[in-house]
Amino acid sequence: MADGPTNHDDGKFDAEGFELDDVTDIYDMGDLDDIDADLVVVPDEPSDHRGAFGEYGGETSAFIERSFREKIILVGVTWPGQDDDDTEASLDELALLIDTAGADEVARVAQRRSGADPATYIGKGKVEEIRVLAESVDADTVVFDDELTPAQQNNLEKLLGRSAIDRTAVILDIFAQNAHTVEGKAQVQLALLKYRLPRLRGKGKSLSQQAGGIGARRGPGETQLEVDRRRVSRLIHKLEADLRQIGHHRDSQRKARRRSPFQQVAIVGYTNAGKSTLLNRLTDAGVLVENRLFATLDATTRRLQLPGGETVLVTDTVGFVKKLPHQLVEAFKSTLEVVAEADLLVHIVDASAPDTEAHLNAVRVVLGEIDAAEVPELIVFNKSDLTTESARLVAQHPGSVAISAVTGDGIPELLAAIGDRLRALTNVVELMVPFDRGDVIAAVHREGEVLVETTDEAGMRMRARLDDAASARLAEFVVG
């Protein structure tokens, strides 16, 4: 960054940039009023609805107001190759996201289209229909199930007279509420700013030209909006630099884990499938568990001893969802690298969900985006205490396991399956260890599975199952 931010004690924006001493709350990072064009998307004409950007709202720059429960209209479109059931299922999930964000669905609108309208996404006729509906139910915000372009969002807000946001904005809003660690907050803020940057719009005096001055960085004719865009871009660069620094620390941690004798298991799955509950059941990790989407975002790693005596590192990761914003996938890539580097993925699926296959596929799409599609996978159908479908699902997916992370049912079978899968990934080698090298004999027992152990005149002959790292460390004793 050639022009870095200057130092300020108050942590506010100024004409020179933005100082971020620490990553604080996503919506409380200095005085946003210093930016005339705001970091929020607002209608060009003020509306009288109560939503986050309305005349009676605006207490925060969140996409959905939190001082009261907004009334939301959901809008979905059925595209060629889809059916109405797909659209309804997606809207059902969007309704859960809205509830998690702290708002209520009051109506929903579905439409069939062969292609998106470039100006309004759904066409002016449907926009007018939604405007009339919004007035009749006193809706505060209209949420669209697919991502809107900045131009579409602007046009919709003008025509609807109220906030118009998309699924991406709702997910970003939820992530912002649930991020707690410094890294998590920085990752979410980066994704949020990248989403908002092309949506910055001027209003009132922010469209006026600013006069240049002696030593001023902005010249005559530059608008306040352009200044604000530059400031936001600098903040994005600052966050990217901060995350690169955090990434260096993560690299060091990963190198240490690679040198450890423990194999790595990553728990992945759709949001609210029960990943944190399972980690707590297996390791007493004490991770927050709530029956809502994206309750936990920060990765947690704990040791787990398997029935065969092996010790593994188990990591709980952020949950995935259909249409997960690409900004979040990019921002969280450093955190999700633990998934790509794992020896085994324990893929948790909510067996009580209406469409388990859709959840499976959505998770696999994200795994492909983070280069983890080739990591061995163990499918685990959770919540067997809530459904009778578990046996059928296991039969459809050979090698899978059905459990209840709440009651503990099926946990012994899961642990045995994890051990079997990890052992299948290791090599069977034969070693000859002198009798005076008890430390090596202990290491073989500790780091692998001893299959056969005999003695002869030269020492202890051992046939053991070891991973590549252990085999390399014990290479001088390998005889076959």
- Nearest partner of 394 among 436, 333, 351, 342, judged by Cα: 351
Same domain, 414 and 270: yes
The pair of structure tokens assigned to 266 is 């990553």
> If you count them, how many residues does the chain have?
480
- Please say if the pLDDT value at position 268 is more than 80: yes
Same domain, 157 and 301: no
How far apart are the C-alpha atoms of 262 and 36, rounded to whole Å?
A: 53
**At 71, which helix (H) or strand (E)?**
strand 71-78
* pTM flag (> 0.85): no
pLDDT, residue 293, reads: 67
Looking at the structure of the chain, the number of domains it has is 3
How far apart are the C-alpha atoms of 100 and 84, rounded to whole Å?
A: 24
The pair of structure tokens assigned to 406 is 């709440």
252 lies in some domain = no
The pair of structure tokens assigned to 350 is 């909510």
202 lies in some domain = no
25 lies in some domain = no
The domain boundary, picked from 165, 195, 225, lies at 195
370 lies in some domain = yes
- Please say if the pLDDT value at position 66 is more than 80: no
The arithmetic mean of pLDDT across residues 455-468, rounded, is 85
458 lies in some domain = yes
How far apart are the C-alpha atoms of 339 and 325, rounded to whole Å?
A: 18
Q: Give the residue with greater pLDDT, 48 vs 10.
A: 48
Are 218 and 58 a contacting pair, CB within 8 Å?
no
Are 243 and 334 a contacting pair, CB within 8 Å?
yes
Three-state SS sequence of 336-347: HHHHHCCCEEEE
Determine whether 254 is exposed, middle or buried from the number of CB atoms within 10 Å of its CB (0-12, 13-18, 19+). middle
**At 433, which helix (H) or strand (E)?**
strand 427-433
pLDDT, residue 417, reads: 95
- Nearest partner of 297 among 181, 382, 173, judged by Cα: 181
The answer to which of 37-46, 251-260, 267-276 has the lowest mean pLDDT is 37-46
- Please say if the pLDDT value at position 2 is more than 90: no
The β-bridge partners of 117 are 121
The pair of structure tokens assigned to 343 is 């020896």
The domain boundary, picked from 163, 195, 227, lies at 195
Q: Given pLDDT bands bounded at 50, 70 and 90, which one contains residue 177?
A: confident
- Nearest partner of 421 among 401, 437, 444, judged by Cα: 401
pLDDT, residue 134, reads: 95
Q: Give the residue with greater pLDDT, 83 vs 33.
A: 83
Q: Given pLDDT bands bounded at 50, 70 and 90, which one contains residue 400?
A: very high
Residues contacting 462, CB < 8 A, separation 6+:
430, 431, 432, 433, 441, 444, 450, 452, 453
CA distances to 21, 36, 143, 169, 322 from 194, rounded to whole Å, are 20, 19, 20, 11, 20
The pair of structure tokens assigned to 158 is 């003008």
Provide the CATH number for the domain around residue 89: 3.40.50.11060
456 lies in some domain = yes
Same domain, 469 and 416: no
Q: What is the DSSP letter of 171?
A: H
The β-bridge partners of 104 are 71
214 lies in some domain = no
Three-state SS sequence of 108-165: EEEEECCCCECCCECCHHHHHHHHHHHHHHCCCEEEECCCCCHHHHHHHHHHHCCEEE
Same domain, 294 and 376: yes
pLDDT, residue 73, reads: 96
414 lies in some domain = yes
- Nearest partner of 182 among 363, 349, 339, 334, judged by Cα: 334
* Range of 139-143, 216-220, 252-256 with top mean pLDDT: 139-143
The pair of structure tokens assigned to 474 is 């014990």
The answer to which of 134-143, 336-345, 364-373, 441-450 has the lowest mean pLDDT is 441-450
Same domain, 296 and 373: yes
Same domain, 283 and 366: yes
- Please say if the pLDDT value at position 156 is more than 60: yes
Same domain, 419 and 457: no
Same domain, 357 and 459: no
Same domain, 418 and 334: yes
pLDDT, residue 260, reads: 64
- Please say if the pLDDT value at position 28 is more than 80: no
The domain boundary, picked from 195, 211, 239, lies at 195
Same domain, 269 and 306: yes
Same domain, 363 and 266: yes
Q: Which domain holds residue 176?
A: 40-195
pLDDT, residue 259, reads: 60
Q: Which residue has the tokens 């260890």?
A: 433
Provide the CATH number for the domain around residue 352: 3.40.50.300
Same domain, 276 and 134: no
